[in-house]
Amino acid sequence: MTDFTLILGGARSGKSRLAEARIQALPGHQAPVYLATAQAFDAEMAERIAHHRAQRADAGWRTVEAPLALSDALGAQPPDAPVLIDCLTLWLSNQMLAGADLPAQVDALEHAILARAAPVVAVANEVGLGIVPDNALARRFRDAAGRLNQRLAARAGRVILVTAGLPLALKGGL
């Protein structure tokens, strides 16, 4: 069974920091791979991406940009390299904006995760805790994100919820 951890939380909850620390603490693996799904649609996001990329480079990560072809990018990584996916929620948004076949994309992603020999840690936002969105697209996104999180949580050995930087094990311990 694949060593798969799903880390959920709100924006700026500390989920990415926890995911990075978990991967970096693994003994005896190749340099970790950071599969980044963000796209820079404005200058502020481009700056964020550049900042995060520079931080990861200093820490020895190999970054692969995979805003759409995430399952292909995951499958192309060395079999013994641990992989961090950050984040599934942005990837889902990218898929929806591209008009992709969501069920097929989610199937492909699930299979790519489960096919890995090395550990995989995936980060996703928990978007279902707020008010019901006021438009159809936002409601469709919230629902799709909830379904994606549930599906992958069912397959993960560990599921961790992070709030205010504090991890809470929902499945499989910390």
Q: Point out the catalytic residue in the list 29, 51, 52, 111.
A: 52
Look at the block and give the residue holding tokens 């469709």: 140
29: annotated active-site residue: no
Closest to 163 in 3D by CA, of 2, 6, 9: 9
What span, in angstroms and rounded, lies between the C-alpha atoms of 166 and 174? 11
Catalytic residues: 52
